[in-house]
Structure 1
Amino acid sequence: MPWEFQFTLPTRPAPPATFAAVGANMSRHHILGRKYIQLLLALGQEVPVSDGTLKRFAGWPVSTGSTAPVNAQLNGMFFWSPFNLFVGPAGTRRVFDPSSGVEQQRPNSFPEDRWNHLKRIPGYLEGIGVKLSELASLEDTGTKTWNITTSAEKIKDELTALIKDITATVTSDKVPVHKLDEDDWAIVTYLNVKNYKFRSAEDVQSLYGTFESVLEKDVTFQEALPNDAYRFLLKPPGA
């Protein structure tokens, strides 16, 4: 029987104090944007998925056991889950940055299995009755109610399995944010891309091919990063 799930979008939490600075013109990028991750936590707590499963996704070390964070800490840590982050040029330095949306191009150095499991989440949410267009339109502290078509017990089992598929990709006690790999990125001159209009995810996925003829191959990553004349885009597999 369908049941109602009400979700209020929390404000964006600050990064954990344990996060070191990533450097000028650099940023930690979410693969799934804030609304997807914050909804995942709210739904996980509703059905409910076990605290241990949620806290591991938040990056809490397995060895700490019962000293895992209280919910106030969990909200911020879950949002900044290291499983869902990679370091790269700041959004203002990228040809395309999804902001609170979903990354469309996997950095080649990012684990493919983890990427694939993370990218299953939006489709799963939509499949149980969450209207993603309504989720995307939510502002801070805004509320939506959806008629969920799958039982809470089944969602508990399915979300648990999905989250564990993601967390199983790291076996070490502490989970690092995926570090910068300069080889993941191609460079173009800003003047060549500033008027480009994005229409779809496919446009984003084909960026490299669209601008391949104007790639700046004689400029290094470190030379381009501080220079506003350049922008970065992710290379596709094999590039």
Structure 2
Amino acid sequence: MDKVVRSAAEAVADVPDGATLAVGGFGLCGIPSVLIRALLDAGTQDLEVVSNNCGVDDWGLGLLLQEHRLRRVVASYVGENKEFARQYLAGELEVELTPQGTLAERLRAGGSGIAAFYTRTGVGTQVAQGGLPWRYDADGTVAVASPPKPVETFTVRGEAHEYVREEAITADFALVRAAVGDRAGNLVFHASARNFNPLCAAAGRVAVAEVERLVPVGTLDPDAIHLPGIFVDRVVALTPEQVDDKRIERRTLRDGSPS
């Protein structure tokens, strides 16, 4: 089955207002910047985004954030985006901060059909007990707080510990970026881009992948494929200019000063 579509605009044309998106990438590494830009150009709004982080002020998901297209973000790290912090503290954005490994496992569970799982991460903290500010009022008071989560005791390797139950995450659409892909949607990711992209793709009901290099079906060694095409619905082949258009979150010079 040929899953290649003609453009990023066509690939995201049916993403409706109010949709939930799982967006791959790690920092600015492996983010689907072309698909994000297509969503921006389409005017899609009121989105809930699940992603490790929310880009920076002028790149990646930060572009959607600047235009107030996001209503809710589930993420583990947001420290590189000043506009994100401003909207969150002003009560303009709902934010569910999640431990990074827990976020990855919630996405993996969603893609695997597992409803929930138990982890020791967050036991004894507000992650389990509830009360983390999800949304503020304009006056700085907490309007929406995280609920408490079930905690149970299990014995593992002869030791009893408390574990908090975390629910799986699924999304209406997934947007990911791969280094190499074929026309059937089989994908290969480069280095750290593999951290969240495969998990997001599997968790999305419709997964859209932008690929830096498109190859014919049968070219990829089956053992080298990181994500089978069964998880991918649409493939967008990037131009050389789009492939080269990448950003660095923070650059430090030899003397230690930021550039």
User: For the superposition of Structure 1 and Structure 2, which TM-score range results when normalised by the shorter chain?
Assistant: under 0.3
Q: TM-score, normalised by structure 2?
A: 0.25
Higher helix share: 1
With the length of structure 1 as denominator, give the TM-score of the two structures.
0.26
> Per chain length, whose mean CA-contact separation is higher, i.e. which structure has more relative contact order (CA < 8 Å, sep 6+)?
1
